[in-house]
């Protein structure tokens, strides 16, 4: 009887985990740093750099670790030619549909 109780408890626990992962809400990261800086605490759900800002790199790195689709937007108005991040020139829209490493 104890064995069945343990199996049921494990199944319920796994079901809760699955439902939590499925219901994970998408995170939004707002880029406000044009320098290419890494996340200082990767995996904490916050894409802060050592300057206390959010760079495109830190936002992508953090989003890659989270389940589901996340949104990265830009604090800067994107006008005309867009925003330049090193060699990346972001125009009106930037869609990343897979993990970026």
- Give the pLDDT confidence of 48-65 residue by residue, as tens digits: 999 999 998 999 899 888
Report the DSSP pairing between strands 71-74 and 28-31.
Answer: parallel
Closest CA to 94 of 62, 59, 50, 51: 59
**Domain membership flag for residue 5:** no
| Token pair belonging to 56 | 């495109």
Backbone torsions φ then ψ of 72, nearest 5 degrees? -120, 120
Q: What is the pLDDT of residues 9-45, one digit of tens each?
A: 664 555 455 445 544 567 889 988 888 899 999 989 8
pLDDT value at residue 23: 47
Task: Record the pTM.
Answer: 0.61
CB 72 within 8 A of CB 60: yes
Alpha carbon distance 29, 20 (integer Å): 21
pLDDT at 76 > cutoff 50: yes
Q: Based on the structure, what is the number of domains in the chain? A: 1
**Domain membership flag for residue 95:** no
Backbone torsions φ then ψ of 2, nearest 5 degrees? -65, -35
- Expressed as residue numbers, the domain containing 49 is 26-90
pLDDT value at residue 14: 57
């Amino acid at each position: 009887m104890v064995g069945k109780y343990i199996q049921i408890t494990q199944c319920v626990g796994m079901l809760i985990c699955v439902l939590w992962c499925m219901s994970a809400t998408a995170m939004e990261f707002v880029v406000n740093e044009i320098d290419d800086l890494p996340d200082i605490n990767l995996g904490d759900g916050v894409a802060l750099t050592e300057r206390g800002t959010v760079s495109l790199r830190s936002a992508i790195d953090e989003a890659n670790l989270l389940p589901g689709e996340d949104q990265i937007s830009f604090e800067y108005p994107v006008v005309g030619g867009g925003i330049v991040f090193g060699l990346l020139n972001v125009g009106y829209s930037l869609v990343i549909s897979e993990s970026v490493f």
